[in-house]
A and B are shown apart, each in its own frame.
Chain A
Amino acid sequence: MDGVLIPTLVSGLLLGSLYALMASGLSLIWTTLGVFNFAHGALMTLSAYIAWTVSEQFGLGLVMGFVAGVGAAVIAGVLIELLLVRPFYGNRNMMLITVMTTLAASTILERGISMIWGPRLKQLPRTLDGQVSLLGAPVSAHEALIIVLAPAVLMALWWYTGRTRSGRSLRAVGQNPGSAALIGIDVPRTFSLAFGLSAALAGLTGVLLGSIRFVTPGLGADPLVNAMIVVIFGGLGSLGATAGAAYVIGLLEALLVLWLGLYWTPSVLFVALILVLVFRPNGLFGKAT
């Protein structure tokens, strides 16, 4: 058992890190605008394809691919905000309408990607070669980088939204856009900022994921479902609870795969989700309202 348990925990940490990166992007937009971005996964996919084109097809190397991928995701994210979210701002049913428009955006991105790049599988090179030892288990250096990078990014995000002027303006707009405008915060610009930042997180996750899994038009959609489970468990409101839930789900998923195999893991995870919601409708770490 010992021989399998440690690698399982490490793979759980890896999954948790990826979910934490995704869920924090979703939570950032939710707390600022009250919008759930269903196109988050498609932004990850877009970033991975752009990175692949720049680094492999143009041969400009992974660093340039990384920059181009994240840049493309940010542009697409800001465009989604401008075209599909902003026109509905102030509408009483904004939450519901933006669910539909971002869902449509995700269809447009996914279909567009499969039309441009075709169905052939692609793979990004790893950021780091070689293996390292983590808790005595051998891990590829690339995966170890993700495990280290995710908490660092989360800490940076936490520091940014809590300690800097522009980060705190995000929270001010989220809590009360009217008062935020009165004290001189440019509210529309803050919306773009939130979407851009979240899209940058999506882009980063997409490029990192693209060298672990094959790059397909569905690259981002599959983990997005698990990121949704994460935000249902942890609630969308706070970064800490979201990140905590991401690691709980990641470890749980890895342990379930070890105990039950890939065959039953999705079903059991979902039954666990339903049970949690029946007994705790506000999520695992949520407070009663």
Chain B
Amino acid sequence: MTRNRSLFALAALFILALVPAIVTDSYTRHIFIIAFIYGTVAVNWDLSLGLAGLFNFGHLAFFGIGVYTAAILTTSLDLSPWLAIPLGGVTAALAALLIALPVARLQGIYVVLVTFAFGQLCMQVVLSQGDLTGGAEGLVRLPYLRLGDYSFIRDFRFGYYYIALGLLTVSVASLMLLARSPFGKSLRALRDNPDYATARGISVARQRVLVLCASAVFTGIAGGFYAIYLRVASPEVFGFSVATLILSMVLIGGAGSILGPVFAALGLTFATEAMAGIRGLEEARFLVVAVAMILVLRIAPAGAIDIFARLFTPRPKS
């Protein structure tokens, strides 16, 4: 089973690696790049929400922190974007450590509330620290990537395509390895039967801290790349809309399945971009995604959220 899935993933990767040879217009490549970035964010959210069963609703904050780290470092400190992008992963992991401190000891709805409030407060901080972050207007005209004389904005997004695909591949591969490792097994044990897992010596608090930091690293790097690629950083990345879109990728793809959210990210990004092209649907596309998410939760609970049914051990509500 896992062998088949790895082969399937390799075949998909092979096809995606050939796409730029066939697709030469930069707009289609752009949608692929955005889909790879969203896919990276979605699989890492899947690590904490699906695989570890941690009710993390502040995942997009790690993405936004990556975006603003890269943007601030390249504008205020003139750092090379090649360095600023990975540093987005570092700051996101540090933020994850901060939020993990209280989350490690909280239960149920309070985990949802604290992580959600964290994301919204990041946005408020970005808005209030206007000198550094540009406030509501955000930061624009960020530097682009160069390699010697090679400039990444004059090749019809050829280079950016492979960087984004590489980021997604490395992220998915390390998550698949992580899911099979003893650490990944301990996460699933905690999700499926917390009492038994604790009795076998697995620490809830420790695994929660580790899983939040691990899920933040690639998310932050993806954020840094997103900022450098689009050359803007705007506070919208912390908003409800992007969070709902990526959450729906995790749910429609199947939480806990790692590969599912990647394909959902590709499908949904192309679907929302296609809707943005239709007059009258530009504003409505996030609305459509939200409706789709509700329908998946209602109609296909066995498919898309099968995993949530196993999040808890059977226990009477008292």
Contacts and interface: CB of A to CB of B under 8 A. Distances in A.
Contacts of B55: 96, 99
A236 B105 CA distance: 17
B108 A95 contact: yes
B240 A277 contact: no
A111 interface: yes
Interface string A222-256: 00010011011000100000000000000000000
Contacts of B312: 92-93
Contacts of B101: 274, 278
B109 A103 contact: no
B293 A104 contact: yes
Size band of the interface chain B makes with A? 35 or more
Given A84-B294, A108-B287, A277 B106 contact: yes
Size band of the interface chain A makes with B? 35 or more
Contacts of A87: 298
A9 interface: no
B117 A100 contact: no
Contacts, number: 124
Interface of A is mostly: helix
Interface string A88-116: 10011101110111011111101110110
Contact of B112 (A36, A110, A114): A36
Interface string B260-295: 000000000000000000000001101101110110
A30 B294 contact: no
B124 A232 contact: no
B309 A92 contact: yes
B102 A236 contact: no
27 contacts: A38-B116, A84-B294, A93-B311, A96-B308, A99-B112, A100-B247, A100-B293, A101-B294, A106-B240, A107-B240, A107-B287, A108-B287, A111-B241, A111-B286, A115-B284, A225-B117, A225-B121, A228-B116, A236-B109, A266-B121, A269-B121, A270-B118, A270-B125, A273-B117, A277-B106, A278-B105, A281-B106
